[in-house]
Amino acid sequence: MSENRTRFRLDQRRAPIYEALEQFRQMRVVPFDVPGHKRGRGNPELTAFLGQQCVGVDVNSMKPLDNLCHPVSVIREAEELAADAFGAAHAFLMVGGTTSSVQSMVLTVCKRGDEIILPRNVHRSVLNALVLCGAVPVYVNPEVDKRLGISLGMKREQVEKAIKEHPNAVAVLVNNPTYYGICSDLRAIVKMAHDAGMLCLADEAHGTHFYFGGGSLPVSAMAAGADMASVSMHKSGGSLTQSSLLLIGPNVHPGYVRQIINLTQTTSGSYLLMSSLDISRRNLALRGRQVFHQVADMAEYAREEINAVGGYYAFGKELCNGNSVFDFDTTKLSVHTLDIGLAGIEVYDILRDEYDIQIEFGDIGNILAYLSIGDRPQEIERLVSALAEIKRRYHTDGAGLLSQEYIDPVVAASPQEAFYAPKKSLPLRETEGMVCSEFVMCYPPGIPILAPGERITKEILNYIEYAKAKGCSMTGPEDPDILHLNVLA
């Protein structure tokens, strides 16, 4: 504890929401409030499935348990502990996933007509926020690694150019890291934004562990001086799915951020999600550095073993070039598969269907195995063995495989303008040259191939049809089969 005591101002052994729920459980209060299952008695099948321990604390906001919309006691204490653990001026517990965190972050700084500088390879939640508020994106189109087909980070000179050409932009948004583990030079981008009078926002959906890297992982947004960061605790931090944190620095007013959050977040915050954030924050504060050091070591071992198989390329810090790949998240086990003649999504399907191994995603050329605090060495060995066997059984000529994951968009209208404009539905191939009014993406990772306001090109249509044929899970359009697209009328 001595190291932790020097790091933290507050007693990180506390978990006030969890403690309040345990005290509430012992009180045996008679429930004449919601939820209607009444501590599970009204829904025995659900109780049998989830367990009495779980449904017994699925409760409503009440004075002893505080209120997420306006916390004054245990939730506020939990937020103060989270801010302390993550080095933020303030932290907000979010129960709408990191989508809610990202949207609240963008809605806090942007209003209709404002410009915001961002890379195009953002999660759809960022562009959804622009649809809601009417802000206009200024895209910094990232470079693409030609071998891997993946988009890289934002180069410093690209950001500098965008700031110079759009001096009235309100903020710069950065992925820290990308889904594949690529990091931009966040400290430099923060300084450029601040020097221009802009805020810097970070989508850290895949960077929770950066706050507990102890210098061995890329810099976190708060340590780099960013103004706001969306941190997906459920991804690498161990909390329940749909729980997240929104962190802010000293230059953002927390009262206004709370108002923005309350525009869209539920008034019935789940105590299961909030207590999972509370307990997970405590776990990371007390043990995070040690645990994530072990995770990084496991990922490095897996990279070496997979590369020794041959045919695959499990990439890592060797990609760093000081700019567009300023740093790399070594916990990310991303593997290029095209050299064995299989698309990433094909390897993804084989691993699940024939080896009972569920990885995070497979796309056109790569797979991602998401390593975090719950992984063990024996599972790493099983994954490596399966990949070796897949190569032996399925290796083929890769002729005809697409490699490009990212296609620069041609923006013809703002996302809000295009989303709400009069539209018509056309067969997919008849939309070439038209302006799209909806999203099309592979999920995961949820980065749009097309977003509202972007012109549909032949290259994009080829990519959509190829991804569908290879079995990528496609989402976004009104037409679930993606045989038609909505375009501006």
Domain annotation for the chain: domains and CATH numbers: 289-394 (3.90.1150.10), 415-488 (3.90.105.10)
Q: State the pTM of this model.
A: 0.94
Using DSSP, state whether 160 is helix, strand or coil.
Answer: helix
Read off the pLDDT band of 255 (50, 70, 90): very high
What local confidence, expressed as pLDDT, does residue 408 receive? 80
Read off the pLDDT band of 1 (50, 70, 90): very low
Residue 345: its H or E element: helix 344-355
pLDDT, tens digit, 9 for 90 and up, residues 399-417? 778 776 677 888 999 999 9
Q: Could you write out the DSSP letters of every residue in 170-239? A: -EEEEESS-TTSEE--HHHHHHHHHHTT-EEEEEETT-GGGGG-TTSSPPPTTTTT-SEEEE-HHHHS--
Torsion of CA 360, 465, 153, 137, to 10 degrees: -110
CA–CA gap between residue 227 and residue 296 (Å, rounded): 27
What are residue 272's phi and psi, to 5 degrees?
-65, -45
What local confidence, expressed as pLDDT, does residue 2 receive? 41
Read off the pLDDT band of 307 (50, 70, 90): very high
Task: Give me the mean pLDDT over the 454-474 stretch.
Answer: 90
